[in-house]
């Protein structure tokens, strides 16, 4: 990781360009790189990194010896997988790129982009996206399947790199992450999307998740050789991609086991998950070195989203059915996690809905109700101008999640 030396900075983002601002000595240093790799971690807090670093030497600590750490960085809001993945590749928020969640409303249609659009969602490698399962829209007078890559309303860096004549590659948990191809659908030279939620889903088991994530790691390592994993969509044809990346997860350990109550120590499962991620980073670094391109590679470690609460003594659960009943008006759709995105069937019911939510604030564990002009002023979109924007955003009190799951101890979104 060449030409960087600051361990911590409150600067908001790392530049893609030829220079970067060093907040300690106010000089610009050349960080021009031939390759950029982005390692995205699902479910890691900044505080988790602090605790892991305190345990002893690690691959994280080795990268920080010569790298920048952005201690004032935040996840997207909402902090779901889709906006969280789009953030570093667009530099945009949902207000601008238009993707609020993986199951939002848009143009009065529920747009769900998950395993349900696979050709065969029960298989790990189920053949990609089935166009018959996609939402439809009239485009140029024709009823057309709306692929995920058609949703973002801004440029995505992968498409820019490909248009510049270079190769790109990315691996993540569903074929629905097709949206990384960009609005024109051309941004990924090679995509590798094994289905996380297959019939033998690892979703609630850390050991199975590690087996699954190893597929992503092996794809990473192969790309450094210019090799394609089996069942990849597209081909690098022997070239090392100029921009490549993928996702690894600690969120399963977070939302099923979490931390020790009051002590906030890592549970054994969570520690195992973070250690796997650390080991994977080390394998990637070693591969870059063995290929002789480590000094030519900019490594970015980013957080897609985290999970809340950290302190399990703060955990409370609210049944989504109770929320819907207390809303008191008809909704077209509500996204529930540790926030609520409410799409009203009739926008004229806004005042009544807000009134009812205020009445039931304590029962529904509501911290804040965001709507109208305040929503616009906070940069959270204008429902009058963009149909994907929710009418109301509900933020719960710390520790509350909307779920009927008995095993889940944390969620994301808020």
The 10s digit of each residue's pLDDT in 256-309 is 566 777 777 888 888 998 999 999 999 999 999 999 999 999 999 988 766 666
| Cα–Cα nearest to 38, from 90, 97, 76 | 90
Contact call for residues 161 and 102 (beta carbons, < 8 A): no
pLDDT (tens digit, 9 = 90+) per residue, 154-183?
899 999 999 999 999 999 888 888 889 999
Give the orientation angle of helix 268-290 with respect to helix 46-54, to 10 degrees.
80
pLDDT for residue 14 is more than 60: no
Q: Which whole number is the average pLDDT over 375-397?
A: 87
Tokens of 27: 């000089």
pLDDT at 15: 31
Query: pLDDT grade, residue 2 (50/70/90)?
Result: very low
d(CA 414, CA 392): 13
Contact call for residues 371 and 390 (beta carbons, < 8 A): no
Q: Which whole number is the average pLDDT over 367-395?
A: 88
Tokens of 220: 């990473």
Give the orientation angle of helix 206-224 with respect to helix 268-290, to 10 degrees.
10
Helical ranges in 295-364 per DSSP H = 320-327, 350-359
Q: Which whole number is the average pLDDT over 376-398?
A: 86
Query: pLDDT grade, residue 102 (50/70/90)?
Result: low
pLDDT at 13: 33
pLDDT at 86: 86
- Residue 279, H or E segment: helix 268-290
Q: Which range has the top average pLDDT, 73-77, 93-97, 360-364, 403-407?
A: 360-364
384 vs 10, higher pLDDT = 384
pLDDT at 24: 45
Q: Which whole number is the average pLDDT over 342-357?
A: 94
Q: Which whole number is the average pLDDT over 188-201?
A: 84
pLDDT for residue 133 is more than 50: yes
Q: Which whole number is the average pLDDT over 66-90?
A: 81
Q: Which CATH superfamily is domain 19-305 in?
A: Alkaline Phosphatase, subunit A (3.40.720.10)
pLDDT for residue 143 is more than 80: yes
Cis amide linkage into residue 309, ω under 30° from 0: yes
pLDDT for residue 337 is more than 60: yes
Cis amide linkage into residue 354, ω under 30° from 0: no
Q: Which range has the top average pLDDT, 26-35, 65-74, 170-179, 183-192?
A: 183-192
């Amino acid at each position: 990781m060449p030409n960087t030396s600051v361990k911590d900075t409150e600067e908001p983002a790392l530049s893609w360009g030829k220079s970067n601002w060093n907040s300690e000595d106010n000089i610009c240093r050349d960080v021009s790189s031939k390759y950029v790799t982005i390692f995205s971690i699902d479910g890691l807090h900044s505080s988790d990194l602090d605790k892991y670093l305190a345990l002893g030497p690690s691959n994280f600590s080795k990268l920080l010896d010569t790298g920048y750490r952005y201690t004032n960085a935040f996840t997207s809001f909402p902090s779901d997988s889709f906006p969280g993945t789009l953030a570093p590749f667009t530099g945009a928020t949902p207000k601008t790129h238009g993707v609020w969640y993986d199951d939002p409303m848009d143009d009065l249609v529920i747009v769900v982009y998950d395993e349900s659009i696979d050709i065969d969602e029960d298989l790990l490698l189920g053949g990609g996206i089935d166009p018959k399962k996609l939402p439809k829209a009239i485009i140029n007078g024709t009823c057309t399947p709306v692929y995920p890559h058609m949703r973002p309303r801004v440029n995505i860096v992968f498409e820019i790199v490909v248009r510049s004549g270079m190769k790109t590659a990315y691996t993540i948990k569903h074929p629905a992450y097709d949206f990384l191809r960009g609005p024109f659908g051309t941004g990924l030279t090679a995509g590798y999307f094994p289905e996380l939620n297959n019939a033998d889903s690892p979703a609630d088991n850390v050991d199975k998740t590690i087996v699954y994530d190893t597929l992503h790691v092996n794809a990473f390592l192969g790309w450094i050789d210019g090799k394609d994993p089996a069942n990849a969509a597209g081909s690098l044809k022997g070239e090392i991609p100029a921009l490549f990346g993928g996702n690894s997860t600690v969120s399963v350990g977070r939302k099923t086991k979490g931390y020790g109550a009051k002590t906030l120590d890592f549970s054994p499962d969570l520690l195992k998950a973070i250690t796997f991620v650390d080991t994977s980073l080390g394998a990637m670094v070693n591969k870059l070195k063995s290929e002789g391109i480590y000094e030519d590679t900019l490594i970015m470690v980013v957080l897609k989203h985290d999970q809340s609460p950290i302190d399990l003594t703060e955990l409370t659960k609210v049944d989504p059915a109770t929320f819907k009943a207390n809303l008191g008006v008809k909704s077209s759709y509500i996204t529930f996690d540790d926030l609520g995105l409410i799409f009203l069937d009739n926008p004229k019911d806004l005042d009544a809905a807000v009134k009812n939510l205020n009445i039931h604030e304590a029962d529904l564990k509501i911290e804040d109700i965001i709507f109208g002009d305040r929503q616009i002023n906070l940069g959270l979109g204008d429902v009058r101008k963009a149909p994907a924007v929710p009418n109301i955003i509900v933020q719960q009190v710390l520790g509350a999640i909307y779920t009927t799951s008995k095993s889940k101890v944390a969620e994301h979104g808020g």
